Amino acid sequence: MKVLLVGGGGREHALGWKIAQSPLLTKLFVAPGNPGIKPLGERLALGAEDVDAIVSAARARAVDLVVVGPEAPLALGLADRLRAHGVPCFGPSQAAARLESSKAFMKETATRAGAPTAAFGRFKDVAAAQAFLAGMSAPYVVKADGLAAGKGVVIAETFAEADSAVRDLLGGRFGEAGAEIVIEEFMAGEEASYFVLTDGETILPLAAAQDHKRAFDGDKGPNTGGMGAYSPAPVFSTEVEEETLARIIRPVLAEMRRGGTPFQGVLFAGLMIGESGPRLVEFNARFGDPECQVLMRRLEGDLLPALHAAATGRLHEVTLQWSRNAAAVIVLAADGYPGAYRKGGEIKGVARADALPGVVVFQAGTEEKDGRLFASGGRVLSVSAVGATLPEAVRRAYAGVDAIEWRDGFCRRDIGWRAMKTFI
Ligand code: AMP
Ligand code: GLY
C-alpha cells in the first residue's frame, strides 16, 4: 500500500513511525514531514494546507491512502477533494470536521444528541453576549467559534475579564474565527482525552491519554498545544469509558449521520471527568499532539489496515491490540514558546536518547542542515518512552530528555504528576 501522510509535527512523526512498521506498506510519502520522518519515507516539499498540491501529488503517485494529521487541511476540505478523485482519505469531510472547526456547531450537535456538556449560548453581538454573561457565575468560559490555534479560549475569573474577552474576540482579534463566540458554563473535574476510530458507522475505541496544556511545572503559565502526555489515564476507568461511549461518542456520531455529515477518521473527545461522570469539553477531528505519540507507543497492532478500513467503510473487519505498558512523552519547546520563540539552536544527542531503553524521540520543529539538526519551531522534539508502569515510562522519558543537548529550549519536569499520585 502506498500512503501519503499529511503534516509535519510530532504527531505525524509518530504516525509515520507506526505506519512504517506495517508489512502492508510499500511506500510512504510525507507532506511536508520533518527530518525525523526522513528515514521512514520520502518527503514532499508541500505545505500541509496546500490542498491543490496535495491532491495532485496523491494522484500523480497513485497512493492508496492519504492520512491527514492536522485539522487545518480537513477544515479546508482536503478529504472531500481527495474522495472526489477516488483517493481514500483517513480524515473527515469539511462538513464533519466542523465538530472541531466550529464550537457552536459542536455544541449544537452534542446538545441534539443529548450528550452531557456545559450549558452554552452563541453570540455575534456584544450586548447579547454581555446579557448572557450577567446570568452566569464565575469562572466564565468564553470561546471564539472557529479555529484559533488553541488560543481562542478564555477562562475568566471575574465578570470584567470575561466582558473584555467578549469584546476582544468579537472585536476581530481572530478575524473570521471570532465572528461568533460561544459562552459556556464552567465544568469542574479532571480532563482526559479519548480517541476512537470510526468509518461513519462502526466505532473502534482506541485509548485515553492526558496531556499538560500549561507551559510550566505545576500547571502554571500560558496554554500551549501540549507539553507532555501519558497513557493510559488512570482517571479514565472502564466505567468512565463505557459511559463516554454510550452517552457522548455513539449519540454524537449517530447525530452526525442523521444530519447527512457522517464523521470518518479519528474523533478526539476532550472530556471533563467530575462527580457526575464524563462531560464533553470539545471535539477534535484528528489525533492530539502530543497524545498521539503515547497512543502510537502503546499500540501493538498494525495501524495501517485500521486507517485504511476507516477510510473505506470497513472498520468492522478490524481489531487492534494494546500494550498493558504505560507510555509517556515529554515535549521540548523553544525558549519563549508559546509566545515568540528563538529559532536556530543546534540539537545534539537525539541518537543517544533513541538508544536508551524504551525511548523513541519524535521530531516536530526541527530542520537539518549539512547533516546537523537545528530547532525551527515552537515545539521542537517529543521524547517518548514506554515502561511497565507510568513512573518507569516517565523516568525513562526524562533519561531521554537528559541525553539531548540543546541550549535554547525547556521542558516540564512534572509530566504525569496527576497520575503518579496513584503510585505514591
Ligand atoms: P477547548 O479548546 O475548547 O478544549 O478549551 C481549551 C481548554 O479550556 C480545555 O482543555 C479546558 O481546560 C478549558 N475549558 C474549555 N471549556 C471549558 C469549560 N466549559 N469548563 C471548564 N474548562 C473548560
Ligand atoms: N494536545 C491537544 C491537542 O492536540 O489539541
What CATH number is attached to the domain comprising 393?
Answer: 3.90.600.10
Distance (Å, whole) CA 111 – CA 119: 9
Out of 185, 217, 242, a domain closes at 185
What confidence score (pLDDT) does residue 290 get? 97
Q: Cα of 149 to ligand 2 centre, how many Å? A: 10
Name the pairing type of β-strands 181-184 and 120-123. antiparallel
Query: Is 106 inside a domain boundary?
Result: no
Query: Is 97 inside a domain boundary?
Result: no
- pLDDT per residue as tens digits for the range 7-65: 999 999 999 999 999 999 999 999 999 999 999 999 999 999 999 999 999 999 999 99
C-alpha cell at 222: 500560558
Tally of domains within the chain = 4
Q: Cα of 266 to ligand 2 centre, how many Å? A: 13
Please state the pTM of the whole predicted model.
0.95
Mean pLDDT of 243-253: 98
Rg of the chain over Cα atoms, rounded to whole angstroms, equals 21
Mean pLDDT of 178-195: 92
Query: Is 108 inside a domain boundary?
Result: no
What confidence score (pLDDT) does residue 422 get? 59
Amino acid 280 reads L
Mutate to test the pocket of ligand 1, among 281, 282, 283 (most ligand atoms within 8 A of CB): 281
Question: Is the shortest distance between the CB of 282 and ligand 2 below 6 Å?
Answer: no
User: Does residue 302 sit in the same domain as residue 354?
Assistant: no
User: Does residue 174 sit in the same domain as residue 198?
Assistant: no
Q: Cα of 51 to ligand 1 centre, how many Å? A: 30
Question: Is the shortest distance between the CB of 71 and ligand 2 below 6 Å?
Answer: no
Print the domain residue range for 27: 2-92
Distance (Å, whole) CA 286 – CA 415: 23
- Between 13 and 223, the more confident residue is 13
Question: Is the shortest distance between the CB of 219 and ligand 1 below 6 Å?
Answer: no
- pLDDT per residue as tens digits for the range 116-151: 999 999 999 999 999 999 999 999 999 988 877 667
- Closest CA to ligand 1's atom 15: 281
Question: Is the shortest distance between the CB of 249 and ligand 1 below 6 Å?
Answer: no
Query: Is the pLDDT reported for residue 93 higher than 50?
Result: yes
From the list 73, 59, 64, the residue with the least C-alpha distance to 6 is: 73
What CATH number is attached to the domain comprising 155?
Answer: 3.30.1490.20
What CATH number is attached to the domain comprising 256?
Answer: 3.30.470.20
| pLDDT tier for residue 420 given thresholds of 50, 70 and 90 | confident
Mutate to test the pocket of ligand 2, among 268, 271, 283, 362 (most ligand atoms within 8 A of CB): 268
What is the CB-side half-sphere exposure of residue 415 using CA atoms within 13 A? Answer: 37
Query: Could you report how far apart the first and last alpha carbons of the chain are, in Å?
Result: 46
User: Does residue 266 sit in the same domain as residue 353?
Assistant: no
User: Does residue 283 sit in the same domain as residue 222?
Assistant: yes
Out of 185, 209, 240, a domain closes at 185
Out of 153, 185, 217, a domain closes at 185
Q: What is the largest CA-CA distance in the chain?
A: 61
- Closest CA to ligand 1's atom 18: 186
Mutate to test the pocket of ligand 1, among 282, 283, 286 (most ligand atoms within 8 A of CB): 282
User: Does residue 211 sit in the same domain as residue 291?
Assistant: yes
Query: Is 101 inside a domain boundary?
Result: no
Query: Sheet of 27-32: strands edge to edge?
Result: 42-43, 27-32, 2-7, 65-68, 89-90
Q: Cα of 370 to ligand 2 centre, how many Å? A: 32
User: Does residue 274 sit in the same domain as residue 196?
Assistant: yes
User: Does residue 162 sit in the same domain as residue 219?
Assistant: no
Query: Is 104 inside a domain boundary?
Result: no
Which atom of ligand 2 is least distant from the CA of 211?
A: 1
Distance (Å, whole) CA 336 – CA 289: 19
From the list 290, 305, 287, 298, the residue with the least C-alpha distance to 321 is: 298
Amino acid 216 reads F
Which ligand has an atom closest to residue 107 CA? 1
Mean pLDDT of 243-262: 98
Q: If you average pLDDT over every residue of the chain, what do you get?
A: 95
What confidence score (pLDDT) does residue 179 get? 81
User: Does residue 158 sit in the same domain as residue 212?
Assistant: no
| pLDDT tier for residue 234 given thresholds of 50, 70 and 90 | very high
Which atom of ligand 1 is least distant from the CA of 186?
A: 20
Query: Is the pLDDT reported for residue 227 higher than 70?
Result: yes
User: Does residue 362 sit in the same domain as residue 409?
Assistant: yes
Query: Is 99 inside a domain boundary?
Result: no
Which ligand has an atom closest to residue 9 CA? 2
User: Does residue 305 sit in the same domain as residue 330?
Assistant: no
Query: Is 384 inside a domain boundary?
Result: yes
In angstroms, what CA-CA distances link 134 with 158, 159, 163, 183, 361? 11, 8, 9, 11, 48
User: Does residue 72 sit in the same domain as residue 11?
Assistant: yes
Q: Cα of 89 to ligand 1 centre, how many Å? A: 29
Distance (Å, whole) CA 101 – CA 147: 5
What confidence score (pLDDT) does residue 424 get? 45
What CATH number is attached to the domain comprising 85?
Answer: 3.40.50.20
Do the beta carbons of residue 9 and residue 27 sit within 8 Å? no
From the list 304, 334, 288, the residue with the least C-alpha distance to 9 is: 288
Question: Is the shortest distance between the CB of 211 and ligand 2 below 6 Å?
Answer: yes
Question: Is the shortest distance between the CB of 267 and ligand 1 below 6 Å?
Answer: no
What confidence score (pLDDT) does residue 150 get? 65
Which ligand has an atom closest to residue 7 CA? 2
User: Does residue 314 sit in the same domain as residue 277?
Assistant: yes
Question: Is the shortest distance between the CB of 255 and ligand 2 below 6 Å?
Answer: no
Question: Is the shortest distance between the CB of 226 and ligand 2 below 6 Å?
Answer: yes
From the list 306, 309, 376, 383, the residue with the least C-alpha distance to 344 is: 376
Query: Is 352 inside a domain boundary?
Result: yes
- pLDDT per residue as tens digits for the range 391-415: 999 999 999 999 999 999 999 999 9
Q: Cα of 267 to ligand 2 centre, how many Å? A: 12
- pLDDT per residue as tens digits for the range 279-314: 999 999 999 999 999 999 999 999 999 999 999 999
Which ligand has an atom closest to residue 225 CA? 2
Q: Cα of 377 to ligand 1 centre, how many Å? A: 25
